[in-house]
């Protein structure tokens, strides 16, 4: 059985936003992820084969822009060499030639990964929901799980509609982790994603900007739906009380425009097509939470994916199932243990 308080794809969690970037070598924080990067890419290729009408992973290439002396440059190149990934380093002059619309500062380099890609989020979620329905999976959408109670040899799920009993439960609460277990530290980051017309910024691949003096910005081509822009500008809570993922103020949009403007001045001329809020959850060390819940061993938790959850989703899903059904995993998951801060 699968429970979701809402109807996927929806604006809570990672099942929205059009696209997610996936690379081999960017934005990784620990050498121990290297074999997992290869495994998750293999699983994404299998997902492509499983859903040929959708082909959720499209290899478009991607580039990250860094300061010339940024220490991550060497780390990214080392990852690429070890994983056998083709990377090309571009200097400032070539970057300005390839991206004439951008105001690229002096002493900037770009690292191009030609096999990186974009995952089409909503079409994939819709295809998986449809597959689960035809495969006989019991899907309870729009049904909120209000309590999970441990009883003798079973777990009882109390929802807004009725009670259910199970031997094993996998919980992926996202940013609501603190409501499930306050002993697991988690923080949230709220951002705006917005789209401008494709003819206002012509891109065929994802561009990430992480240069000193600029806000972190990412540009994602989204076909005829335009170009998605995300700036690393944390947003306040909804002042009206109840959190609302759709609530966006003019002040928020102005703040993001201000962050993007020094790098792409076209933001002032480009019409705003639409916008969505996005919430990511982060652990203190940016490593995931994946493990058996000590308070109730039949329950397995996956959370705190720290901005990289969609990339690793197929692999983490396998780990969670193994932990639930076998009580262990063939992988050493000590990096993600739930009690590492206690």
Instruction: Delineate the domains of the chain, giving CATH numbers in brackets.
Output: 7-122+187-282 (3.30.9.10), 144-186+285-313+320-334 (3.50.50.60)
The answer, yes or no, to whether residue 239 has pLDDT greater than 50, is no
Residue among 290, 252, 298, 287 at smallest CA distance from 272? 252
pTM greater than the 0.95 cutoff: no
Contacts of residues 220-225 at CB distance under 8 Å and 24 or more positions apart, as own/partner, are 220/18, 220/19, 220/21, 220/118, 221/60, 221/118, 222/18, 222/19, 222/195, 222/198, 223/198, 224/198, 225/18, 225/195, 225/198, 225/273
- Percent of the chain, pLDDT > 70? 96
Q: Max Cα separation, the chain?
A: 68
Q: What is the predicted pLDDT for the residue at 238?
A: 52
The answer, yes or no, to whether residue 24 has pLDDT greater than 70, is yes
pLDDT average, residue stretch 278-282: 87
Q: 58-100 pLDDT, tens per residue?
A: 999 999 999 999 999 999 999 999 999 999 999 999 999 999 9
Q: 251-261 pLDDT, tens per residue?
A: 888 888 999 99
Please report which confidence band the pLDDT of residue 246 belongs to, taking 50, 70 and 90 as the band edges: low
Using alpha carbons only, how large is the chain's radius of gyration in Å?
21
The answer, yes or no, to whether residue 243 has pLDDT greater than 60, is no
Q: 37-62 pLDDT, tens per residue?
A: 999 999 999 999 999 999 999 999 99
Q: What is the predicted pLDDT for the residue at 122?
A: 94
What's the CA gap between 337 and 329, in Å, rounded? 12
pLDDT average, residue stretch 291-318: 93
Q: 171-201 pLDDT, tens per residue?
A: 999 888 888 888 899 998 888 899 999 999 9
pLDDT average, residue stretch 3-7: 94
pLDDT average, residue stretch 207-233: 91
What's the CA gap between 21 and 217, in Å, rounded? 13
The position carrying tokens 């440059």 is 73
Which residues, 6+ apart, have CB-to-CB distance to 166 below 8 Å? 1, 154, 155, 157, 298
Q: Which two tokens stand for residue 81?
A: 């060499």
pLDDT average, residue stretch 225-242: 72
Q: What is the predicted pLDDT for the residue at 159?
A: 96
The answer, yes or no, to whether residue 169 has pLDDT greater than 80, is yes
Residue among 16, 7, 28, 47 at smallest CA distance from 280? 16
Q: What is the predicted pLDDT for the residue at 325?
A: 95
Q: Which two tokens stand for residue 278?
A: 């996005």
Which residues, 6+ apart, have CB-to-CB distance to 188 below 8 Å? 175, 279, 280, 281, 282
Do 65 and 209 contact (CB within 8 A), yes or no? yes
Bond preceding residue 148 cis, omega within 30 of 0? no
pLDDT average, residue stretch 14-32: 89
Q: What is the predicted pLDDT for the residue at 236?
A: 62
The mean pLDDT value of the chain amounts to 91
pLDDT average, residue stretch 281-291: 95
Do 219 and 229 contact (CB within 8 A), yes or no? yes
**H or E stretch at 317:** helix 309-326
Q: 106-154 pLDDT, tens per residue?
A: 999 999 999 999 999 999 999 999 999 999 999 999 999 999 998 878 8
């Amino acid at each position: 059985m699968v429970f979701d308080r809402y109807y996927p794809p929806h604006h809570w969690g990672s099942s929205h936003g059009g696209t997610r970037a996936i690379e081999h070598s960017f934005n990784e924080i620990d050498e121990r992820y290297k074999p997992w990067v290869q495994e998750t890419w293999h699983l994404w290729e299998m997902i492509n084969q499983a859903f040929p009408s959708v082909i959720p992973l499209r290899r478009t290439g991607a580039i990250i822009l860094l300061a010339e002396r940024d220490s991550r440059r060497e780390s990214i190149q080392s990852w690429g060499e070890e994983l056998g990934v083709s990377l090309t380093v571009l200097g400032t002059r070539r970057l300005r030639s390839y991206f004439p619309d951008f105001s690229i500062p002096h002493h900037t380099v770009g690292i191009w990964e030609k096999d990186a890609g974009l995952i089409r989020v909503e079409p994939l979620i819709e295809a998986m929901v449809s597959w689960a329905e035809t495969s006989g999976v019991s899907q309870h959408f729009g049904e909120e799980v209000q309590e999970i109670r441990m009883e003798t040899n079973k777990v009882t799920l109390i929802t807004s509609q009725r009670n259910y009993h199970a031997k094993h439960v996998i919980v992926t609460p996202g940013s609501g982790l603190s409501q499930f277990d306050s002993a697991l530290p988690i923080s949230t980051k709220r951002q705006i994603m917005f789209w401008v017309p494709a003819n206002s910024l012509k891109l065929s691949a994802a561009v990430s900007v992480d240069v000193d003096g600029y806000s972190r910005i990412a540009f994602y081509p989204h076909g005829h739906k335009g170009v998605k822009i995300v700036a690393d500008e944390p947003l306040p809570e909804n002042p009206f009380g109840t959190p609302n993922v759709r609530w966006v103020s003019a002040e928020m949009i102005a703040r993001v425009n201000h962050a993007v403007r020094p790098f792409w001045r076209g933001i002032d001329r480009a019409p705003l097509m639409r916008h969505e809020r996005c919430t990511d959850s982060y652990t203190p060390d940016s490593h995931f939470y994946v493990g058996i819940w000590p308070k109730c061993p039949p329950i397995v938790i996956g959370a705190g994916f720290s901005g990289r959850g969609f990339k690793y989703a197929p692999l983490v899903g396998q780990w969670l199932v193994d932990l639930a059904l076998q009580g262990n995993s063939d992988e050493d998951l000590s990096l993600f243990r739930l009690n590492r801060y206690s």
